[in-house]
Amino acid sequence: MSRLRGKTIVITGASSGLGVEIAKQAAAEGARLILLARRSDRLEEVKESIRRTFSTEVYSYSVDISQKEEIENVFMHVLQHVSEIDILVNNAGFGVFSEAHEAKWEETEAMFRVNVLGLIACTQMVIPHMKARGSGHIINIASQAGKMATPKSSVYAATKHAVLGYTNSLRMEMARDGVRVTAVNPGPIATEFFTLADPSGSYVANVGRWMLKPEKVARKVVGAMGTAKREINLPRWMSTGSLIYTLFPRTVERLGRKAFFKK
């Protein structure tokens, strides 16, 4: 019998990419799903597809993760319906690649609202309930960009650095109440993310062969659900690079400058 059977899992950004794959694999384990995303039409398609394939409970709610009031309303409704949330996967996020002096303010603000403030708002909605029960799991999808920033992603990297800082602090706080917190730090994943992040297609053209498959990342995330896993870092070679950067930042920046600008 699956350890996820009967568990209620909330997934943000569940209408495409990694969010869909996490939802599918969690459903295969018998979990009850609450899917959140902005695009209601896509979300409805995902919900019905998972219901047909896995014969499990799936609910969907359209919500703009950049809007705190919408988040509060949706979570209040969800908690009235399911009474408790066992696992929250903060997956919603996006990026726009541009050099710092070219970054548009509206895009900068939107990235922080979704990637950071939205994630915090969703987390704050489940914390009191998980603390009261003395159990739960919060999984935050960060990025290798939160460990090693590169050119043309200054704002995106800043949001993911913020996510990692928040996650690390939250983990220590929640440990007192039996609530687990995991950070997921993937490298580039072959999803729709790059349609917006890299409209020119140059980044995908340069690094496409090294991109992670969303199914593989989802498998790692679902496998960590309910465990004490501190971090998931993918791929291994990129995680090693981030570690080397922490130890020898000047050397990595000097030797890797040309490669970093390929995006």
Instruction: Assess whether pLDDT exceeds 90 at residue 238.
Output: no
First to last CA, the chain: 45
214-227 CB burial, b ≥16 within 10 A, e <16: beebbebbbebbbe
- The answer to whether the predicted template modeling score (pTM) of the entire model surpasses 0.75 is yes
Position 9 pLDDT exceeds 60: yes
pLDDT at 187: 87
Any domain includes 1:
no
Tell me the per-residue pLDDT of 81-136, one tens digit each, with 9 for 90 and over.
898 999 999 999 999 888 899 999 999 999 999 999 999 999 999 999 999 999 99
- What's the pLDDT at 209? 65
Residue 139 in any domain: the answer is yes
How many domains, in total, are found in the chain? 1
How many residues does this entry show for the chain?
A: 263
Respond yes or no on whether the N-terminal peptide bond of residue 235 is cis (omega within 30° of 0).
Answer: yes
Residue pair 122/141 in contact by the 8 Å Cβ criterion: no
pLDDT band (50, 70, 90) for residue 175: very high
The pLDDT value recorded for residue 146 is 92
pLDDT at residue 48 is higher than 60: yes
* 164-185: average pLDDT: 97
Specify if 126 maps to a domain. Answer: yes
More confident site: 20 or 259: 20
Q: Kindly state the percentage of the chain with pLDDT values over 90.
A: 71
Residue 20 lies in a domain: yes
More confident residue, 242 or 137: 137
Position 206 confidence tier, pLDDT thresholds 50, 70, 90: low
Range of weakest confidence among 2-6, 16-20, 228-232, 249-253: 249-253
Is the model more confident about 256 or about 95? Answer: 95
Structure tokens belonging to residue 160: 């993911």
CA pseudo-torsion sign 9, 221, 116, 58: negative
CB atoms within 10 A of CB 110: 15
- What pLDDT is attached to residue 258? 63
Q: Which residues are catalytic?
A: 156
In a domain, 207, yes or no: yes
DSSP notation for the chain: --TTTT-EEEEESTTSHHHHHHHHHHHHTT-EEEEEES-HHHHHHHHHHHHHHH---EEEEE--TT-HHHHHHHHHHHHHHHS--SEEEE-------B-GGG--HHHHHHHIIIIIIIHHHHHHHHHHHHHHHT--EEEEE--GGGTS--TTBHHHHHHHHHHHHHHHHHHHHHGGGT-EEEEEEE--BSSTHHHHH-TT-HHHHHHGGGPBPHHHHHHHHHHHTTS---EEEESHHHHHHHHHHHH-HHHHHHHHHHHHTT-
**25: CATH:** 3.40.50.720
Is there a domain that residue 237 lies in? yes
Which domain, by its residues, includes 208? 8-260
- pLDDT-derived band at 182, boundaries 50, 70, 90: very high
Buried/exposed 113-127: b ≥16 CB within 10 Å, e otherwise:
bbbbbbbbbbbebbb
Q: Is 3 inside any structural domain? A: no
pLDDT for the residue numbered 176: 96
**pLDDT above 70 coverage of the chain, percent:** 90
**Residue 236 in domain:** yes
CA 166 to chain centre: 13
